[in-house]
Amino acid sequence: MRSTLKLFGLMILLGGMAAAQNTAPSTFSYSYGKGSQAAKDIAFHLESSIEGKVLRQFPCVAQMDMSGVIALLDLERQKELLGAEPNNDTLKNIGASLGADYIIVVRVTTLPNGQMYINVVVLDSRTARQVANRDGHPASGDAAVDLMETIAEQILTDMAGLLKGKCTPHWSGTVTFKFRYETLEDKTETFPGGDKSVNTRAYHSSWLTENYIEALLSAKGGADQNETKARVVHRFTHRDEHIVNENEAAWCRPKGANSFWKRLSNRESDIGDERGEATSTETVWVTIDKVNGTYKISVKYPAVKTTSRREITATGVSCFDSKPSSAIADGEGSPESSAYVVDGTEEVRGVLDPKNPDVLSGTTTTGDKTSGIHTVTWNLRLVKPKSAR
């Protein structure tokens, strides 16, 4: 029970340390040599070699090993907590509480024949899964040293796959392109009715086309800070309505009865809808011209496959037994959407703010009601991972 409480206390303390440091990505390493001083030496040097290789290739990685933890905590409590050799679960918990993304565990064991077995495991603190495991045939002397270097290079290769892009400055944020074309017409006609009242005919016509593209730049960088992967959404919607409402006087002649005037109402409508959406992962290019103080943002977007429906209805007009009618046609694509649903590339151009060159933001609006309104909004920030040095 006391050990459990102490472990809980250590987790809280280390969690506070992680919040204060707030560096990512990060690693926590631990080495253990068993059976001989040579095993301890190789374990220590292998741990140091891995740390050095990772840091040289990924300088933003924050690193802490067990000696660093002991330096920050009470040594005796730490020893009492860990006892002899901590297992992977204990190391994972310590590393995770410290804020480490990956835990590197180096173990070297001296076998009865004097040879040494070397094993390095990398754990993912978030998923608790083993993401790398390297070892080799037992060796001694120079062969053990060579094996140590081989495993260090193998682990570096494994870590490179895990840390790729995380130390590269990259742009993060959103860019949206919106085109909207809308028309609306309502009018009413009146004329004398045969029953000495007024006949009316009201017309409603509307047209709305909207093409929307949004790029959400990933939090993860790439090999080039000016090329960032983004989740790009391309959405197209269209709706047109044509409606006529009539109220007119009609001279009705029933069989075997006197004729009479009757007010008749009729509604005819022709309504079309079309919509579609596509999502893909694309590259967003940010080109900075420091000489002219300008920049360009290029966003590639995917094509959209749309579905459409057109419905035509009429209530019917008759003195007796009027019968409504309707017709529905479903399909894919239309002449209205053909110019918008293809893939392509949109661009944003702007002027750098010399006081804040790591932020690119703005809004532009072009066009008019006759041709349609184009609105572009962008807000990007250059993310620079903190250096562990």
User: What's the rounded Cα separation, in Å, for the pair 118 and 112?
Assistant: 14
Cβ contact 34:108 at 8 Å: yes
Q: DSSP 3-state assignment of 264? A: strand
Nearest C-alpha neighbor of 362 from the set 373, 374, 351: 351
Taking CA atoms, 79 is separated from 14, 40, 69, 84, in Å, by: 16, 18, 11, 8
| Cross-strand pairs, 210 | 180, 237
pLDDT truncated to tens, each residue of the chain (389 aa)?
334 334 434 443 444 443 333 345 778 888 889 889 999 999 999 999 998 998 888 877 877 766 555 544 443 344 445 555 667 777 777 766 666 788 899 999 999 999 999 999 998 888 878 889 999 899 988 999 999 999 999 999 998 888 877 777 888 889 999 999 999 999 999 988 888 889 999 999 999 999 999 998 865 555 677 888 888 999 999 999 999 999 999 989 988 889 999 988 899 999 999 999 999 989 899 999 989 999 999 999 999 999 999 999 999 888 888 888 999 999 998 888 888 999 999 999 999 999 999 999 999 999 998 899 999 999 998 877 765 33
CB within 8 Å of 141: residues ≥ 6 apart = none
CA angle 100, 103, 107 (to 5 degrees): 155
263, 195 Cβ separation under 8 angstroms: yes
Tell me how crowded residue 304 is: count the other CB atoms within 10 A of its CB. 22
Three-class SS of residue 386? coil
In sequence order, the 6+-apart residues with CB closer than 8 A to the CB of 92 are 103, 123, 125, 128
Q: In angstroms, rounded to a whole number, what is the distance separating the alpha carbons of residues 216 and 16?
A: 32
What ranges do the domains of the chain cover? 2-163, 170-383
The CATH superfamily label for domain 2-163 reads: TolB, N-terminal domain (3.40.50.10070)
Would you call 326 exposed, middle or buried from its count of C-beta atoms within 10 A (0-12, 13-18, 19+)? exposed
